[in-house]
Amino acid sequence: RNTMREAGLNPYLFEFVNIREQCSWVHENKEKATEKAMELVAAGVAKARLLEPLSYIEVDVIRRALVIGGGLAGMTAALEFANQGIETYLVEKECELGGNLKHIFYTIDGKDPQKLLRELVEKVESNPLIKVFKNARIQSVEGFVGNFTTKILTESGIEEIKHGVIVVATGAKEYKPKEYLYGQHPRVITQVELEAMLANDNVPNDVIMIQCVGSRNEERPYCSRICCQAAIKNALKIKEKNPDANVIILYRDIRTYGFLEKYYEEAARKGVVFVHYDENNPPKVFKGENGNPVVEFYDEILKDTVIAEPEFVVLSVATIPNEDNEEISKMLKVPLDANGFFLEAHPKLRPVDFASEGIYLAGITHSPRLIPETISLACAAVSRAMTVLSKEKIIMEATKAEVVRERCDACGMCAKACPVSAIEIVEIETRAGKERKASVNKAICLGCGVCSAVCPKAAIVVKGFTFNQIREMLDELAEVVE
């Protein structure tokens, strides 16, 4: 296409036949591969006869960004945008910034997250390019890449903003368990609650930790990733402050991935006891005769049941998606995965992009992750967004859906099928008066062809892949087969 453009020809008058990937690289039989190549070339020539010149779509870019969520990922993204000279709107539903970082007092490698939090909040709130909305929620989002209009519900009323990109950094939250007497006894707590105790120098003498509470089960089959390192982090902190303390970790699998494995080994050296339990025979927690929690578990090495009465039972609970993810998903027309987290366009090729252009995701709104990973994902999202915001105009492919109005009867099947909601049924003026027809927003359209496939009247086609072009290709292939 670049060669066509350089020669002064329309680049859409070019049809590509992929002989390398579809023939020579995938077939061992040279003769049959050659026959297939000839068939593909014949089909390509048949389509090329019907190609028409198409024009690229140009869209003006509003060089401003919206970041939804004021946690670690959201603040990092806002600062990265500001460092690039981009005016940014940061929307946080709580009364203060920080998100989950407010509840993390130390990291497994000895860093101070509270210092990081203070620095980030100070930088964000003092940056003239960042406008922060606290106690605010997104009410509606309209538009497309480069041209979004968002209404924000604030304490003082509704504020409308215009921007070119959106970064979703709404975070996640800690699962509040119903099992193991949590909420029924003050000595049954979560790792986050234990961390707050340790930060205030309230160090227990005897602790049993239970892993995988609320995750890796039928309801939540995923691993929350951060639970194992949180347990080991707190176990090491207990041993640091009270070397004689007894710490037992009941686990299904220890997943301290990467270089975090050394902290697992360090915990074992310092006397933290790791006991494996089978998922079909998990530990039991019940109230003893004195009312205190008692833990019963099977030790696979001793081949016997152990009953212990620790000072605290600490649950390593799941990280779960926020309940407002579904509302934001519908508003932005972006998908959620089976677990309720936001789903990226492609885990390898587009890990921070949504399928809808101009919308990106960052942090644990995608999946549970550690502080460095959250920061990396936020920076990656901004890098991708800057490919849009660095330009005054963006040029889009011309291969978009187009409605043949004479055939359209406004049945709405195309609008329902469109994965990015680029089609709507509108009222238009015709010679016969007002009529309802399908209308395509070409700035949003991906050119995927789903609408064309479901239309019962062939009233919507994708330019560059029309029915006639595809029919000619199939006819040519059918002739070769015959």
* Cα distance between residue 335 and residue 343, in whole Å: 6
Per-residue confidence at 184, pLDDT binned at 50, 70, 90?
very high
Domains by residue range for the chain, with CATH = 1-54 (no CATH), 60-171+322-393 (3.50.50.60), 175-317 (3.50.50.60), 400-463 (3.30.70.20)
Asked if the model's pLDDT at residue 13 lies above 70, the reply is yes
> pLDDT at position 458, please?
92
Instruction: Give whichever of 71-80, 413-422, 446-455, 468-477 has the largest mean pLDDT.
Output: 71-80
Encode 188-199: b = buried (16+ Cβ within 10 Å), e = exposed: bbbbbbbbebbe
* Cα distance between residue 214 and residue 252, in whole Å: 13
Region 87-116: mean pLDDT is 96
> pLDDT at position 185, please?
95
> pLDDT at position 482, please?
54
Residues 6+ apart with CB under 8 A from 399: 12, 54, 447, 462, 463, 464, 465
* Cα distance between residue 424 and residue 401, in whole Å: 12
Per-residue confidence at 6, pLDDT binned at 50, 70, 90?
confident
DSSP string, 211-234: EEESSSSSS--S--SSHHHHHHHH
What tens digit of pLDDT does each residue of 340-359 get?
999 999 999 999 999 889 99
Region 5-10: mean pLDDT is 88
Region 393-413: mean pLDDT is 92
- Asked which of 124-128, 364-368, 413-417, 428-432 is least confident by mean pLDDT, the reply is 428-432
Residue type, 372: P
Spatial contact of 163 and 89, defined as CB atoms under 8 Å apart: yes
Could you tell me where the beta strands, DSSP code E, fall in 309-431? 312-317, 319-321, 359-361, 393-396, 401-403, 423-430
Per-residue confidence at 420, pLDDT binned at 50, 70, 90?
confident
> pLDDT at position 289, please?
87
Pairing of strands 312-317, 206-213: parallel
> pLDDT at position 480, please?
59
> pLDDT at position 421, please?
87
What tens digit of pLDDT does each residue of 254-299 get?
999 999 999 999 999 999 999 999 999 999 999 998 889 999 999 9
Residues 6+ apart with CB under 8 A from 275: 248, 249, 250, 251, 297, 299, 300, 301, 306
Region 383-391: mean pLDDT is 96
